């Protein structure tokens, strides 16, 4: 088997390391030698984290037309050049392995349709949850099930940042920098912290598990970029951890879908996932509840998944299963639950004017929107310094936990709460997964 790797960054150099260091192991498991015949990069002068002969490393994408290549491994990321690389490879008769969830989210239809029409195979295990074999699980190992619910921590960078902030009291900016140094973050880390990367992975899982072809504009997506240590500590005080949680849950023929920082009860497995680990809690109608966990980002865990795909192509397994995966369904009968109808309990945190009448004004607004208060905390010393106001009146932090309310009720209440003069920013609202 002759492959070309496009991109020798964090993941690409990990793939090259495995294939060169463990050549005999992969040959024994596939019955064939897997040779890297070309590796394409942008900057030939950059030092590489792998030991490939300089004769095969090039900055010329034209080598991908080499008829000797069976498989192109796309590891550059993004949705422009990567799209050209993948489509050209398929049209030139090659199979493709990619770790690129952005590409599959934005151009999945085009990529999968082109591959199917040309009788080619696209493998994408590393595109979701790094080293965790969730694509194989959903597409094959659990194929006897209808997935009814899928909840996951799908971004290693965000989980690492939240862990560093909460357990090590690192600042948000220091934690982001460390995630970049460790090779967890996307080339543009905004993709991670704004929730986009996790949401893109959710669209790939939803396509595979529910046959729905969706975009990240179709559901609620929020990132971790405005979370503070105060909220992480408040969550702990109340018996929760905050995680960037992706949810796809069937209610009859409606799919509840969102990706947002969420309070998760401390005793739940999802709450206990730290660092760059990912976890997916999946419920299938036959199997019941299952959990899949492992490193969701980083060089070798991701390379592990990419090489597994290469091995699957080498033995011919992927070519058998790819044509039957639910990737291009026309109609499933399932539609997305409007976001206003999603029902949760909520954590609210305000900076409230320390004067008579404040509490009743807040309670009135919530009451007008039929939102019931489950508990209320107001003791300033656990919540950091009070927010100073321009007219020197004192503000105190206040936390409210609501009973069940819909996103629509909360959105309407948010607007009215924003008009209250007795409240100053921040106004934090996070959903609770009970
Ligand atoms: P990276 O470290 O930024 O590496 C990207 C590589 O692509 C670099 O070697 C770069 O070349 C090369 N490249 C970029 N544009 C190119 C072009 N026009 N022509 C030729 N080569 C080009 O990225 P990464 O972290 O390895 O991620 C690669 C892919 O894997 C992305 O789709 C990412 O979302 C996905 N992924 C990453 C992880 C992770 O933990 N990092 C996990 C799962 C999935 P130079 O080195 O010369 O600049
Ligand atoms: N930036 C991604 C993450 C890489 O942190 O999860 C893995 O897809």
| Tens-place pLDDT, residues 196-237 | 999 999 999 999 999 999 999 999 999 999 999 999 999 999
- Domain contains 72: yes
Interval between CA 234 and ligand 1 midpoint (Å): 37
- Residues 120, 263, single domain; the answer is no
The Cα–Cα gap between 325 and 103 comes to 18
Interval between CA 308 and ligand 2 midpoint (Å): 18
- At which of 336, 365, 391 does a domain end? 336
The Cα–Cα gap between 304 and 15 comes to 7
pLDDT band at 386 (very low <50, low <70, confident <90, very high): low
Q: What is the number of the ligand closest to the CA of 6? A: 1
Share of the chain above pLDDT 70, in %: 97
Largest separation between any pair of C-alpha atoms in the chain: 79
**75: Cβ below 6 Å to ligand 1?**
yes
CA distances from 195 to 80, 170, 239 (A): 21, 20, 24
CATH code of the domain covering residue 72: 3.40.50.720
pLDDT for residue 406: 98
pLDDT band at 394 (very low <50, low <70, confident <90, very high): confident
**298: Cβ below 6 Å to ligand 2?**
no
Listed in sequence order, the residues at least 6 apart from 139 whose beta carbon sits closer than 8 Å to its beta carbon are: 208, 321, 325
Mutate to test the pocket of ligand 1, among 4, 6, 7 (most ligand atoms within 8 A of CB): 7
Mutate to test the pocket of ligand 2, among 127, 152, 155 (most ligand atoms within 8 A of CB): 155
- At which of 86, 108, 131 does a domain end? 131
pLDDT in tens, 320-364: 999 999 999 998 999 999 999 999 999 999 999 989 999 999 999
**186: Cβ below 6 Å to ligand 1?**
yes
pLDDT band at 377 (very low <50, low <70, confident <90, very high): very high
- Residues 288, 245, single domain; the answer is yes
- Domain contains 303: no
The Cα–Cα gap between 255 and 395 comes to 41
Atom of ligand 1 nearest to the CA of 197: 34
pLDDT in tens, 184-194: 999 999 999 99
Find out whether 231 and 192 touch, Cβ atoms under 8 Å. Answer: no
CATH code of the domain covering residue 363: 3.30.70.260
Interval between CA 234 and ligand 2 midpoint (Å): 27
The Cα–Cα gap between 222 and 22 comes to 41
**297: Cβ below 6 Å to ligand 2?**
yes
- Domain contains 121: yes
Mutate to test the pocket of ligand 1, among 9, 74, 125, 154 (most ligand atoms within 8 A of CB): 9
Burial 170-183 (b: 16+ CB within 10 A, else e): bebeebbebbeebb
Atom of ligand 1 nearest to the CA of 183: 41
Mean pLDDT value of segment 379-399: 66
**192: Cβ below 6 Å to ligand 2?**
yes
pLDDT for residue 392: 57
Q: What percentage of the chain's residues is helix, strand, coil (to nearest 5)? A: 40, 25, 30
- Residues 234, 363, single domain; the answer is no
Find out whether 152 and 244 touch, Cβ atoms under 8 Å. Answer: no
Give me the chain's average pLDDT, please: 95
Find out whether 47 and 5 touch, Cβ atoms under 8 Å. Answer: no
- Residues 186, 289, single domain; the answer is yes
- Residues 400, 265, single domain; the answer is no
Phi-psi region of 102 (alpha: psi -120 to 50; beta: other; left: phi over 0): alpha
- Give the residue, by CA position, lying nearest to ligand 1 atom 14: 76
Residue 387 has pLDDT above 70, yes or no: no
The Cα–Cα gap between 232 and 228 comes to 7
Tell me which residue of 126, 125, 129, 127 sits closest to 157, measured CA to CA. 129
Q: Is 201 a catalytic residue?
A: yes
Residue 141 has pLDDT above 70, yes or no: yes
pLDDT for residue 385: 58
Interval between CA 100 and ligand 1 midpoint (Å): 9
- Residues 107, 174, single domain; the answer is no
Alpha carbon 282 to its chain centroid, in Å, reads 15
- Domain contains 320: no
Residue with token string 């309407």: 412
Q: What is the number of the ligand closest to the CA of 196? A: 2
- Domain contains 350: yes
Give the end-to-end CA distance of the chain in Å, rounded to a whole number. 49
Residue 307 has pLDDT above 70, yes or no: yes
- Residues 282, 152, single domain; the answer is yes
Element (H, E) at 28: helix 23-30
Instruction: Read off the DSSP letter of residue 210.
Output: H
- Residues 415, 269, single domain; the answer is no
The Cα–Cα gap between 128 and 137 comes to 12
Q: Which two tokens stand for residue 287?
A: 């199997």
Number of structural domains the chain divides into: 3
The Cα–Cα gap between 180 and 131 comes to 18
**130: Cβ below 6 Å to ligand 2?**
yes
Residue 383 has pLDDT above 70, yes or no: no
Share of the chain above pLDDT 90, in %: 94
Interval between CA 396 and ligand 2 midpoint (Å): 37
pLDDT for residue 148: 98
Interval between CA 97 and ligand 1 midpoint (Å): 13
- Residues 147, 279, single domain; the answer is yes
- Residues 149, 187, single domain; the answer is yes
Crossing angle of helices 172-181 and 156-168, rounded to 10°: 130
**156: Cβ below 6 Å to ligand 2?**
yes
Tell me which residue of 197, 186, 212 sits closest to 331, measured CA to CA. 212
pLDDT for residue 393: 75
The Cα–Cα gap between 230 and 238 comes to 12
Residue 370 has pLDDT above 70, yes or no: yes
Range of the structural domain that residue 58 is part of: 2-131
- At which of 336, 366, 388 does a domain end? 336
CATH code of the domain covering residue 207: 3.30.360.10
Of 201, 339, 355, 421, which one is the catalytic site residue? 201
Better-predicted residue by pLDDT, 354 or 243: 243
Residue 286: how many CB atoms within 10 A of its CB?
Answer: 8
**183: Cβ below 6 Å to ligand 1?**
yes
Q: Confirm whether pTM is higher than 0.85.
A: yes
pLDDT for residue 135: 98
- In this structure, are strands 254-265 and 240-251 parallel, antiparallel, or unpaired? antiparallel
pLDDT in tens, 75-121: 999 999 999 999 999 999 999 999 999 999 999 999 999 999 999 99
Strands (E), 162-229: 220-221
Mean pLDDT value of segment 306-320: 98
- Domain contains 316: no
- Residues 283, 185, single domain; the answer is yes
- Domain contains 321: no
**304: Cβ below 6 Å to ligand 1?**
no
**185: Cβ below 6 Å to ligand 2?**
yes
- Domain contains 305: no
- Residues 413, 272, single domain; the answer is no
pLDDT for residue 308: 98
Listed in sequence order, the residues at least 6 apart from 343 whose beta carbon sits closer than 8 Å to its beta carbon are: 404, 405, 406, 407
């Amino acid at each position: 088997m002759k492959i070309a790797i496009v991109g020798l960054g964090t993941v690409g150099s990990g793939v090259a390391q495995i294939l060169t260091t463990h050549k005999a192991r992969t040959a024994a498991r596939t019955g064939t030698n897997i040779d890297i015949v070309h590796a394409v990069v942008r900057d030939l002068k950059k030092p590489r984290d792998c030991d490939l002969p300089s004769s095969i490393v090039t900055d010329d994408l034209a080598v991908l037309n080499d008829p000797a290549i069976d498989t192109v491994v796309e590891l550059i990321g993004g949705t422009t050049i990567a799209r050209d690389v993948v489509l050209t490879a398929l049209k030139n008769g090659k199979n493709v392995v990619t770790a690129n969830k952005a590409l599959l989210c934005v151009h999945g239809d085009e990529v999968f349709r082109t591959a199917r029409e040309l009788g080619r195979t696209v493998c994408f295990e590393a595109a979701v949850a790094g080293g965790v074999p969730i694509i194989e699980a959903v597409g094959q190992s659990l194929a006897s099930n209808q997935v009814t619910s899928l909840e996951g921590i799908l971004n290693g960078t965000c989980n690492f940042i939240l862990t560093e902030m909460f357990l090590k009291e690192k600042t948000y900016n220091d934690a982001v920098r460390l995630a970049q140094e460790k090779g967890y973050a996307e080339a543009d880390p905004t993709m991670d912290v704004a929730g986009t990367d996790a949401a893109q992975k959710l669209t790939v899982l939803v396509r595979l598990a529910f046959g729905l072809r969706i975009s990240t504009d179709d559901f609620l997506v929020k990132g971790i970029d405005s979370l503070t240590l105060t909220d992480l500590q408040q969550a702990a005080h109340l018996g929760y951890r905050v995680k960037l949680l992706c949810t796809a849950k069937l209610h009859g023929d409606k799919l509840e879908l969102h990706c947002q920082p969420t309070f998760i009860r401390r005793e739940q497995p999802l709450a206990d996932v730290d660092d760059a680990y990912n976890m997916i809690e999946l419920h299938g109608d036959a199997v019941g509840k299952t959990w899949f966990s492992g490193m969701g980002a980083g060089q070798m865990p991701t390379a592990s998944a990419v090489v597994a795909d290469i091995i699957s192509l080498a033995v011919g397994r992927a070519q058998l299963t790819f044509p039957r995966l639910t990737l291009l369904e026309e109609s499933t009968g399932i539609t997305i639950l409007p976001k206003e109808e999603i029902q949760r309990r909520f954590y609210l945190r305000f900076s409230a004017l320390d004067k008579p009448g404040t509490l009743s004004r807040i309670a009135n607004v919530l009451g007008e929107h039929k939102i019931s208060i489950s508990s209320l905390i107001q003791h300033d010393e656990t919540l950091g310094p009070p927010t100073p106001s321009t007219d020197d009146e004192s503000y105190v932090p206040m936390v409210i936990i609501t009973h069940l309310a819909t996103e629509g009720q909360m959105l309407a209440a948010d607007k009215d709460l924003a008009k209250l003069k007795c409240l100053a920013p921040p106004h934090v609202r996070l959903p609770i997964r009970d």
